């Protein structure tokens, strides 16, 4: 069909419009290919973690996924119908509306085929085995465009992948359907200008420990002069800094209006002590064709000084919509909580001068001891809890990495691990050129990706990018640890 279309016969404006559409289509295809690549990479990592394969033999009977030992009478495991490997009860995922189950790897493989649409092409290949891949008409038109020199069309920048794109972990006993694989496909367009206002009220019920956002209405929304009658607005909220799919709330979509009325209440389960560390983000979006989202404006309110016992404050108010805020305001990284640690450099007995002159001989006798005490103000889930753990990575001057991990504390919003990390075989001269990175994670279920809550770094590259104060403070703390061997140093690290 592309051979029948002659771009030379069209006017320059017509060519430009057609090519802009084709370039946008190619950009969307590139984003989709990158999304599929990440899904396949994640699946491959899960397969590598598996303990068994058909070409390996094992002396002991254990789960093929988590390598947990299986018993003779209790917890004997069962054979997965997909891969024929024996797995324990914790590594099984039951499918919705059925009594069947699959192991975590087989479930993720099925989930990946659903999200990418590979199941359709597999079934199509069975029905039409001789059908090959053909070049599309749009691709041929773009190739022919390269020969034209009268038009100068710059391809649009591909839209960024949003955090909520294809995000979220499947709950036990559930199966993600095709229509819910990508709840947010990114910002494919933006409103020409942000105008209008939104009316809502914020209330907190201390009895049920629930925060209620009562969305009333919006007025004078802007979505282009030529599309006024096709604006389909809805409201989305986050309780920052949590931007996960579990922390997202949305209203219903109102059709063909610039002054929508919602009258809906969005709720969050959050502890009262957590309210002072959270910010409420209320944004307005337009739902276009092919699930294209358009940003229409937002409001961000800090809850630190909010008086929830004042009845006047809990009434609805109108707020002007503003443009999208930068991720880091004024170059300062986002604060994702604080991590309390205690560190000590343990050196062999002897005078300090002797130690400094014999650094090379003592390089294998020193220890860096670190106690991860606890964390607070973390970006918790919607229920106010986390299944959190801490990873520690000490990078030595020769780029050798020593990694340690704490146990998982489940269902805690302010975890207190009190777990010790001990890095053996180090000296003060090595540590002066080393860096220690601590990251806090929220454990996912069923083999899905864990969520990074924040991190901090001590050492030669301490601090977060763009934060001079944090960088200098971390260097001073690290120098204090190295200059005071065999003494504990308490630190509070800001997570970014």
Indicate the number of domains in the chain.
3
Report if residue 139 sits inside a domain: no
Shared domain for 361 and 308, answered yes or no, is: no
163 pLDDT more than 70: no
| End residue of a domain, out of 298, 325, 352 | 325
Report if residue 1 sits inside a domain: no
Domain span holding position 88: 13-127
Shared domain for 309 and 354, answered yes or no, is: no
Report if residue 171 sits inside a domain: no
CATH classification at residue 85: 3.30.40.10
Give the tokens for residue 364.
């294998």
CA-based nearest residue to 262, from 213, 308, 296: 213
CATH classification at residue 484: 2.60.40.150
Shared domain for 422 and 288, answered yes or no, is: no
pLDDT value for 447: 58
271 pLDDT more than 80: no
Element (H, E) at 13: helix 12-49
Report if residue 137 sits inside a domain: no
Report if residue 155 sits inside a domain: no
| End residue of a domain, out of 290, 325, 360 | 325
Shared domain for 287 and 348, answered yes or no, is: no
Q: Which residue has the higher pLDDT, 306 or 166?
A: 306
210 pLDDT more than 50: yes
Over range 78-90, report the average pLDDT.
Answer: 85
Over range 187-194, report the average pLDDT.
Answer: 54
Report if residue 159 sits inside a domain: no
Q: Which residue has the higher pLDDT, 407 or 359?
A: 407
Over range 174-179, report the average pLDDT.
Answer: 34
458 pLDDT more than 70: yes
CA-based nearest residue to 221, from 138, 286, 156, 159: 286
Task: Say how many C-beta atoms besides its own lie within 10 A of residue 127's C-beta.
Answer: 7
pLDDT value for 214: 94
Shared domain for 299 and 383, answered yes or no, is: no
Shared domain for 451 and 355, answered yes or no, is: yes
Give the tokens for residue 420.
């010790």
Shared domain for 352 and 490, answered yes or no, is: yes
Give the tokens for residue 251.
């209203």
Contact 401, 393 (CB under 8 A): yes
The mean of the pLDDT values for the chain is 75
Confidence of residue 58 (pLDDT cuts 50, 70, 90): very low
- Residues 284-304 as b/e (b if ≥16 CB within 10 A, e otherwise) read bbbebeeeebbbbbbbebebe
Shared domain for 358 and 486, answered yes or no, is: yes
| End residue of a domain, out of 276, 304, 325 | 325
pLDDT digits over 125-150, tens only? Answer: 777 765 555 566 666 666 665 544 44
Shared domain for 206 and 285, answered yes or no, is: yes
pLDDT digits over 375-393, tens only? Answer: 987 877 766 778 899 999 9
331 pLDDT more than 60: no
Report if residue 303 sits inside a domain: yes
Shared domain for 307 and 357, answered yes or no, is: no
Shared domain for 296 and 383, answered yes or no, is: no
Pairing of strands 419-424, 388-395: unpaired
Confidence of residue 320 (pLDDT cuts 50, 70, 90): very high
Report if residue 223 sits inside a domain: yes
Among 77-86, 119-128, 148-157, 416-425, name the most confident range.
416-425
Among 207-216, 271-280, 343-352, name the most confident range.
207-216
Shared domain for 69 and 206, answered yes or no, is: no
Q: Which range (27-36, 243-252, 445-454) has the least confidence?
A: 445-454
pLDDT value for 334: 61
pLDDT value for 173: 36
């Amino acid at each position: 069909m592309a051979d029948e279309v002659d771009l030379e016969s069209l006017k320059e404006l017509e060519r430009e419009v057609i090519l802009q559409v084709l370039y946008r289509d190619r950009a969307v295809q590139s984003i989709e290919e990158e999304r599929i690549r990440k899904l396949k990479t994640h699946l491959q990592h899960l397969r590598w973690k598996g303990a068994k394969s058909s070409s390996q033999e094992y002396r002991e009977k254990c789960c093929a996924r988590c390598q947990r030992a299986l018993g003779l009478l209790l917890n004997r495991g069962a054979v997965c119908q997909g891969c024929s490997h024996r797995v324990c009860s914790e590594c099984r995922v039951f499918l919705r509306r059925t009594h069947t189950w699959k192991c975590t790897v087989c479930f993720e493989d099925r989930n990946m085929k659903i999200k990418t649409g590979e199941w359709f092409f597999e079934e199509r290949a069975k029905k039409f085995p001789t059908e090959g891949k053909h070049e599309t008409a749009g691709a041929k038109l773009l190739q022919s465009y390269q020969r034209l020199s009268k038009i100068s069309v710059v391809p649009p920048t591909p839209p960024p992948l949003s955090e909520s794109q294809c995000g979220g972990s499947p709950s036990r006993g559930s199966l993600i359907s095709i229509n819910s694989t990508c709840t947010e496909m990114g910002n494919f367009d933006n409103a020409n200008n942000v105008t209008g206002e939104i009316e809502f009220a914020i209330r907190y019920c201390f009895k049920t420990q629930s925060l209620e956002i009562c969305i009333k209405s919006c007025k004078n929304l802007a979505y282009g002069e030529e599309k006024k009658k096709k604006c389909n607005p809805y409201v989305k909220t986050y309780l920052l800094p949590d931007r996960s799919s579990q922390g997202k709330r949305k209203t219903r979509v109102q059709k063909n209006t610039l002054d929508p009325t919602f009258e809906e209440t969005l709720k969050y389960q959050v502890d009262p002590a957590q309210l002072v560390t959270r910010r409420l983000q209320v944004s307005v979006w337009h739902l276009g064709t092919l699930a294209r989202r358009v940003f229409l404006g937002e409001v961000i309110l800090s809850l630190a000084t909010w008086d929830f016992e004042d009845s006047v404050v809990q009434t609805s108010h109108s707020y002007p919509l503003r443009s999208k805020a930068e991720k880091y305001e004024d170059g300062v990284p986002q604060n994702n909580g604080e991590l309390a640690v205690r560190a000590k450099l343990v050196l062999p007995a002897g005078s300090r001068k002797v130690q400094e002159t014999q650094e090379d001989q003592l390089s294998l006798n020193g220890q860096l001891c670190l106690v991860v005490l606890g964390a607070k103000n973390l970006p918790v889930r919607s229920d106010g809890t986390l299944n959190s753990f801490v990873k520690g990575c000490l990078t030595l001057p020769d780029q050798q990495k020593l990694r340690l991990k704490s146990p998982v504390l489940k269902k805690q919003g302010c975890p207190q691990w009190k777990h010790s990390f001990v890095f053996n075989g180090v000296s003060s001269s090595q540590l002066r050129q080393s860096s220690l990175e601590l990251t806090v994670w929220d454990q996912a279920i069923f083999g899905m990706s864990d969520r990074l809550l924040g991190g901090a770094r001590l050492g030669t590259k301490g601090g977060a990018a763009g934060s001079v104060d944090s960088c200098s403070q971390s260097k001073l703390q690290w120098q204090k640890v190295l200059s005071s061997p065999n003494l504990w140093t308490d630190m509070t690290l800001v997570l970014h």
